[in-house]
Amino acid sequence: MHEYSIVSALYDRIVAEAGARQATAVHAVHVRIGAVSGVEPGLLQTAYTLFTPGTLCEHAPLCIEEVEARWACPACGGAPAKGARLVCPSCGAPVRLASGDEIDLVRIELEVP
């Protein structure tokens, strides 16, 4: 399961962060998931729920912020309308993905004594 390996990688970063700050607990985990990142937020949430019992994140909810895909022209910066063909409305060049493919760990709320 793809989402499970993502949760596992996130957890490694959380543990490293918590260890660096000598945190005793994690209160919440905030991630940002792009619409075209290949990650299904619902599946990620499920994977997290299955992964965390008995871990430092056991009582920390996973807060997922979904980011819409945004496209931009590399030549002139033009952006196609939502749902339109992926070409620049000004110059006709193929547009590139500007955001929406991210899987970011945004913030971890830690209990630091």
Q: Which stretches of the chain bind Zn ion, using CB under 5 A? A: 73, 75-76, 78, 88, 90-91, 93
Specify the residue, 51 or 71, whose C-beta has the smaller distance to Zn ion: 71
* Cα gap 75→89, rounded to integer Å: 12
Give least dist CB 95 to Zn ion, A.
8
Give least dist CB 101 to Zn ion, A.
20
* Cα gap 20→102, rounded to integer Å: 25
- Detail the DSSP E strand segments found in the chain: 25-34, 62-67, 70-72, 96-99, 103-111
Specify the residue, 80 or 100, whose C-beta has the smaller distance to Zn ion: 80
Contact 87, 55 (CB under 8 A): no
Give least dist CB 13 to Zn ion, A.
37
Specify the residue, 63 or 72, whose C-beta has the smaller distance to Zn ion: 72
